[in-house]
Amino acid sequence: MIKLLVASLTLLNAGVATAPATMPAPDIRSVGTWNELAVDAVRINRSTDADAARLYAMVNVAVFDAVNGITRQRTPALIPATGPRHADQQAAAAAAAHAVLTRLDPARAGSYDIQLAADLQQLGRGREAGAAWGADVGERVVAARAEDGSTPVESQPAGSGPGVFRAAWSGTQYRNVTPFAVRDAQAFVPGPPPALASAAYATAFAEVAGLGNAAIPAPDLLATYQFWSLPAGSDQPPGEWLRIALGVAADRRLPLADESRLTALLTMALADTTVTTVSTKYAYRHWRPTTAIREAGTDGNPATTADPAWSARAGSVGGTPEYVSGHSSYSGAGSAVLALFFHRDRIAFTHATDSAPGGVARTYPSFSAAAGEAGRSRIYGGQHFEFSNRAGLGLGRAVATEVVATSLRPC
């Protein structure tokens, strides 16, 4: 990769005019451009939500540490090293992201090389030093996370009996992955879901049986479910919160150092939320509403009624244990980081998700409003109970609060 970087710089020096040293370096939107490429990689590779969150975090940790290693204003995210003061920060950011993406997505290395060359072409003095420093940081991030527990893939076998998720599911190794920022991801695992015989369970059961029933036409509920469904081939729920952050940052024209800090905090929180979410699913192994409603005669609760023909509005049972809702936990984390970073929740924004019906955007008055809708969409789709939505939102918010409070602090 270093050879490719040197070759790009040699080509630029040989045949492309550079920006005059007396002119300020142009804003090449390193953070936005390279995150868009990371999002595309997740879509093309059909990455899981857990793998997507890890990729986003590695890219943004590398970008932050590359920029911060030059400015030396804050504690590092992962790499405790300093770069040359005269290095170009935009070049460092682009090269750091390039280093991570070419390692983790080698099939598209050629397109990443082209983008890096295009970025560097716009920069003047300090670009060679910045690119070399950024590449070094990116390589160090990849090396530091190589043995983080994200591989090999592990699975939990299919279960049986009342209250138990029935299918085998993979990706369970993420319950043991080394967090990016929190001290102990297991500390955020919530208590168990309501007992099957409880009134709280019966209440949640009745709600999803009505709102999530595919046999009851409800175009508005279906559209909300679809808007936030984000299946394989999309940017996944972590990617939507990353895109929301990038949009808000662009609207406010955040400088590079601030934007890189925002996306690093956000993606570290999302990645660490994965660890707690998978741990929770693995520990409680709770059944999905489809199974629960069809087999309600086995749950020991006189307030629930079995409907063997019931189907979820989403069209599927769901591929992982029900408790907690991962969409909710990612949304809790994403919305909390944004509110904490900007020191207020009520920032309106307009956004279209990857799965938005017809590509139509929605406008939200606050980050928490979007998170609330994302969580409720899982009940509308018949995928989750409300107690799993609430627990997921709380889990994500708690992780985010620790990440923002303890990470990337002023030196």
pLDDT of residue 20: 36
Query: Would you say residue 411 lies in a domain?
Result: no
pLDDT of residue 26: 55
What does the pLDDT profile of the chain (411 residues) look like in tens digits? 444 454 444 444 433 333 333 334 455 789 999 999 999 999 999 999 999 999 999 999 999 999 999 999 999 999 999 999 999 999 999 999 999 999 999 999 999 999 999 999 999 999 999 999 999 999 999 999 999 999 999 999 999 999 999 999 999 999 999 999 999 999 999 999 999 999 999 999 999 999 999 999 999 999 999 999 999 999 999 999 999 999 999 999 999 999 999 999 999 999 999 999 999 999 999 999 999 999 999 999 999 999 999 999 999 999 999 999 999 999 999 999 999 999 999 999 999 999 999 999 999 999 999 999 999 999 999 999 999 999 999 999 999 999 999 999 999
* Residue numbers of the domain that contains 48: 2-144
Contact by Cβ (8 Å): 355, 228: yes
CA angle 43, 403, 170 (to 5 degrees): 40
Domain count, the chain: 2
Reference 134, options 59, 58, 62, 229; nearest CA is 62
CA angle 96, 102, 105 (to 5 degrees): 130
Spatial neighbors of 55 by CB under 8 A, at least 6 apart, are 38, 41, 42, 47, 100, 104, 105
Torsion angle of the four alpha carbons 48, 139, 183, 333, in this order, in degrees rounded to the nearest 10:
-40
pLDDT of residue 28: 73
324: left (phi over 0), alpha (psi -120 to 50) or beta: beta
- The verdict on 11 and 38 lying in the same domain is yes
Q: What is the distance between the alpha carbons of residues 340 and 44, in angstroms, rounded to a whole number?
A: 32
- The verdict on 328 and 215 lying in the same domain is yes
- The verdict on 212 and 111 lying in the same domain is no
pLDDT of residue 294: 98
359: left (phi over 0), alpha (psi -120 to 50) or beta: left
- The verdict on 130 and 178 lying in the same domain is no
The partner residues of 213 in beta bridges, in order of sequence, read 312
Domain's final residue, options 121, 144, 167: 144
- The verdict on 120 and 171 lying in the same domain is no
Query: Would you say residue 149 lies in a domain?
Result: no
Spatial neighbors of 402 by CB under 8 A, at least 6 apart, are 181, 182, 183
pLDDT of residue 14: 38
DSSP string, 37-82: HHHHHHHHHT--HHHHHHHHHHHHHHHHHHHHHHH--B--SS----
- The verdict on 116 and 208 lying in the same domain is no
Place of tokens 């045949």: 15
Query: Would you say residue 150 lies in a domain?
Result: no
The one-letter code for the residue type at 303 is A
pLDDT of residue 35: 98
Q: What is the distance between the alpha carbons of residues 134 and 132, in angstroms, rounded to a whole number?
A: 6
Query: Would you say residue 35 lies in a domain?
Result: yes
- The verdict on 103 and 191 lying in the same domain is no
- The verdict on 109 and 167 lying in the same domain is no
pLDDT of residue 27: 56
Q: What is the distance between the alpha carbons of residues 182 and 196, in angstroms, rounded to a whole number?
A: 33
- The verdict on 306 and 230 lying in the same domain is yes
- The verdict on 64 and 163 lying in the same domain is no
Residue 349's H or E segment, with its range, is: strand 349-351
- The verdict on 36 and 161 lying in the same domain is no
Tell me the CATH number at 131. 1.20.144.10
What pTM was estimated for this model as a whole? 0.94
Structure tokens at 101: 């993406």
Structure tokens at 307: 């409907």
Tell me the CATH number at 286. 1.10.606.20
